[in-house]
Amino acid sequence: MRKMLVLLTGLLMATTVTAPPAAAITGNYVEDVEHSFVGLVVFYDEEGEFVQRCSGSLLTSTVFLTAGHCTDAATGAVTARVYFQQDAGAHYDPATGMDPVSGYPETCAAGTLGTLCATSDELYNYGFPGGLPDSGDAGLVILDQDIAMPEYGALAAAGTLDRLATRRGQQALTFTASGYGLTEVNPVKVTSFRERLMAQAQLTNLRSHLTDGFNLQTNGNGAGRGGTCSGDSGGPVFYGGFESNLIVAVTSFGLNEYCRGTDFAFRTDQQAVLDWIRDSVGESTWADITLVTI
């Protein structure tokens, strides 16, 4: 995500296909009031100027998982601020350049539920850009302040999708994506609520030349389905329905600049990714992260 529109979610990946980094929830979406640990993250350069916005999820009170193309130093991002209100930027006023309720994207505003916002100057990029299929598209933002939540996102153990997605019946696997991205993009219209939304989709492929064990491909928009778009990058993809908090991937890229068609998410159930998270946060913090084996 880098500039406005398609680049709100990320850099264009160097590959044989046009792959705009993914983005907001589209299609058959609903408000996400279930996953309070999913946040809207804003990145700033050395001068404190807005660089881009992404989505992500808290694994502990301070460890925030997002996409690598969001935390990539090449974007100029050196600090971040994360908002956890469901409507974090819904009241954004173009005239003032901020949301008077949450403070997005300039400050953390106190509210009736407390200050659901925290800053960070500690950003990690797993390996983006690594090319496809292994783009290395995972990132971490370590918060300066604790954010207390009733629950946090849980990580699926290594190889979870490999074990679940057998050749027969894999289309029956349902996934839920959550994020704050755009809800509609076309040549003349861009719609963004800057709210946390979620939508369900089904597995398309885990073993194509674009997935190959590194990415999760789902069927994107369509009848009874929901997809992702610019701004959703880094948001969690949960295994199962709306009530699941089991993260198997983070929203990464799509093949259509108007956020239609298939979606791709970088798998976090890879041993190398889990090892990187543990090494980045340290053993004591890693012990606070929930790892689930199905």
State which residues form the domain around 77: 5-292
CB within 8 A of 89, min separation 6: which ones?
40, 83, 99, 102, 104, 105, 180, 194, 195
DSSP 192-206: ---S-EEEEEEEEES
CA 210 to chain centre: 19
**Contact between 216 and 259 (Cβ < 8 Å):** no
Instruction: Give yes or no for residue 241 having a pLDDT over 80.
Output: yes
Three-state SS string over 94-137 comes to CCCCECCCCCCCCCCCCCCCCCCEEEECEEEECCCCCCCCCCCC
User: Whose CA is closest to 180, among 233, 141, 140?
Assistant: 233
Structure tokens at 20: 């705009």
Instruction: Give yes or no for residue 238 having a pLDDT over 80.
Output: yes
14: domain CATH number? Answer: 2.40.10.10
| Res. 61 pLDDT band, cuts 50 70 90 | very high
| Res. 187 pLDDT band, cuts 50 70 90 | low
Task: Indicate the number of domains in the chain.
Answer: 1
Q: What is the Cα–Cα distance from 35 to 168, expressed in whole angstroms? A: 31
Higher pLDDT, 10 or 159: 159
Instruction: Give yes or no for residue 122 having a pLDDT over 80.
Output: yes
User: Whose CA is closest to 142, among 267, 288, 247, 7?
Assistant: 288
Higher pLDDT, 292 or 221: 292
Q: Reply yes or no: is the peptide bond before residue 133 cis, omega within 30 of 0.
A: yes
In this structure, what are the phi and psi dihedrals at residue 72, rounded to the nearest 5 degrees? -55, 125
Q: What is the residue-averaged pLDDT of the chain?
A: 85
Write out pLDDT tens, residues 126-168. 999 999 999 999 999 999 999 999 999 999 999 999 988 765 5
| Res. 6 pLDDT band, cuts 50 70 90 | very low
In this structure, what are the phi and psi dihedrals at residue 171, rounded to the nearest 5 degrees? -65, -15
Section 89-102 average pLDDT: 93
